[in-house]
Amino acid sequence: MHPVSRLGWLDALRGLAALVVVFDHSSHTFMPDLRAELMPQFNTSRYGILVFFLVSGYVIPASLERRGCVRAFWIGRVFRVYPLWAVVVAVFLGVDFLGLAEVRDVDGQSTLTVTVAHVTMLQELLGTPNVLLVLWTLSYEMCFYLLVVALFTVRLHRQSAAVAGGLAALAGVSAGASAVLPVSALSGLVGTGPLIAFASIAMGVALCCASSGSPKLRVFGGVLGGALGLVLIACNGTVPLWEGLVILAAMFLGTAVHRAERGQSTWRRTGGTAIVVVTCAVASAYRYGDGHHFTRRGWITAFLLAVLTFAAGWAWRHRRVPRLLTGLGAISYSVYLVHPVLLAVIDSTTGRRRDDDAVLEVAFFAVLLPLCVLTHRHVEAPGRAWGRRLARRLDDQVSKSTVSSSDTGNDWQVRT
């Protein structure tokens, strides 16, 4: 089967997740009554985000292992994520300057520390408020990248099921403690500025070492990056500790499904892991109780439906996916990042509705989606093309070095 058709179900899931997240956020502005009734029963934002995380778990490790080169992987991720991120943040700061929107308060932090924290994309875990609220998920994506690279450099990358189960079990154990742990505890202990400085330096060293030609430096860099991600999630997240661990467990569950599909693991093991992850996630949410951002019922419903949606999409993988859904998936990153800017402008100029207005809700999507087609075409697509060209050059270099070093047995880095 052609690769594009084979991955159509993933695009469909991305598109669905993006639309649900947009509805969750836009309902603040256009349908407040419906949102107030729906959220306690079904947390639509968490549902969409968890579907995104499951899809990332399925795709990201496969991307690294297909390339077989950490440096090429990071180049691909940078050119995939950063171009649109930079444009959207710049536009948002511009409309704030014009008085058409309002940037969130950064708690008196300096422009330099806020900038550095956002450039690392770990700002959510470094005690820095997100310039755009939706950017918080990218911090967890970045930690997942760091952990995936860490496992790859120490040759434990095929143990996805064990990692997912272990993280889920830790979430279950930590659920009770999460209710009493302070938010951003590490920032409060050492200070936000020093933490940002240390984390940014550690991340830079980790990426450089993991991408180097020395096997020892690759292992050191991978382990350093993975440890950084785990410590930040465990000690400095703004979501409860158990939820941060569940997010990582869900990602690695997506990876476990991919491994079973490729014959790198058994379906029995993957099924058992899924049971562990779901059970621990539900038990953790129930034990934690109703939090500031969600009710336990709304979160549990969202999590279960996200897992079922991913399973249904996977079961549909060999069937034809409508082009409308794959098209939505192609622009899903733009939809995710652009919609809060548009909503911020609307909220600052016309204000939020007091009563539900379905016509305005539909009109918002009618404006947003064509705009996202443009950002995908003129920002995302060129960025990805640049990244692919640069990664391809590195792949060629790695292939040549593999041939020259095969006699010494040092070619493990490009084997999956």
State yes or no: pLDDT of 151 exceeds 60.
yes
Q: What is the pLDDT of residues 164-178, one digit of tens each?
A: 999 999 999 988 766
Instruction: Give the range among 93-107, 155-169, 190-204 with minimum mean pLDDT.
Output: 93-107
Q: What pLDDT band is residue 180 in, cutting at 50, 70 and 90?
A: low
State yes or no: pLDDT of 266 exceeds 60.
yes
Contact 222, 206 (CB under 8 A): yes
The domain spans of the chain are 40-323
CA angle 329/293/104 to nearest 5° reads 75
Q: What pLDDT band is residue 179 in, cutting at 50, 70 and 90?
A: low
State yes or no: pLDDT of 405 exceeds 70.
no
Q: What is the pLDDT of residues 78-97, one digit of tens each?
A: 999 999 999 999 999 999 99
State yes or no: pLDDT of 409 exceeds 60.
no
| Nearest to 164, CA basis, from 271, 39, 52, 27 | 271
Token couple for 338: 């652009």
State the pLDDT at residue 7: 81
Instruction: Give the range among 38-47, 202-211, 274-283, 389-398 with minimum mean pLDDT.
Output: 389-398
Q: What are phi and psi of 291, to 5 degrees?
A: -100, -175
State yes or no: pLDDT of 5 exceeds 70.
no
Q: What pLDDT band is residue 396 in, cutting at 50, 70 and 90?
A: low
Please tell me the distance from the alpha carbon of residue 393 to that of residue 266, in angstroms, as a whole number: 35
HEC-encoded secondary structure of 249-267? HHHHHHHHHHHHHCCCCCH
Give the end-to-end CA distance of the chain in Å, rounded to a whole number. Answer: 22
Contact 103, 143 (CB under 8 A): no
pTM (predicted TM-score): 0.91
